């Protein structure tokens, strides 16, 4: 994945690595700071075809989660399987 290689060059820890065998579409990126994750999600959301004007914000009242959750998605269907 070229985008994962770019993130690795920029110093972000990713799993699997860009040159590892992948058997799934799941990718972990370690940003290290909540603000960096928020900016990443904002950039993803801004580039989507639906609700690109929406700002993703962390929410600490998500059922079954012990930590704040932030999501970005620009899907045409609520509950789409490819989200961030």
User: Helix and strand tally (H, E) in the chain?
Assistant: 2, 2
Give the containing element (helix H, strand E) for 45.
helix 34-46
Which tokens sit at 10?
A: 């920029």
Classify each residue of 9-23 as buried b or exposed e, where b means 16 or more C-beta atoms within 10 Å of its C-beta: eeebebeeebeeeee
Measured CA to CA, the distance from residue 60 to residue 68 in angstroms comes to: 4
Which contacts of 61-68 are long-range, i.e. CB under 8 A and separated by 24 or more positions? 68/34
- Are residues 83 and 48 located together in one domain of the fold? yes
Record the pTM.
Answer: 0.75
- Are residues 13 and 37 located together in one domain of the fold? no
Domain, as residue range, for 52? 33-84
> What confidence category does residue 79 fall into, taking pLDDT thresholds of 50, 70 and 90?
low
- Predicted pLDDT at 27: 87
- Are residues 15 and 52 located together in one domain of the fold? no
- Structural domains counted in the chain: 2
Tens of pLDDT, residue by residue over 19-61, are 899 888 888 999 999 999 999 889 888 888 888 898 888 988 8
- Are residues 21 and 42 located together in one domain of the fold? no
């Amino acid at each position: 994945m070229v985008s994962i290689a770019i993130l690795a060059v920029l110093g972000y820890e990713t799993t699997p690595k860009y040159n590892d065998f992948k058997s799934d579409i799941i990718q972990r990126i370690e940003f290290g700071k909540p603000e960096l994750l928020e900016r990443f999600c904002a950039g993803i959301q801004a580039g989507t075809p639906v609700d690109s004007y929406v700002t993703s914000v962390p929410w600490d009242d998500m059922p079954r989660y012990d930590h704040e959750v932030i999501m970005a998605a620009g899907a045409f269907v609520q509950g789409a399987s490819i989200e961030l």
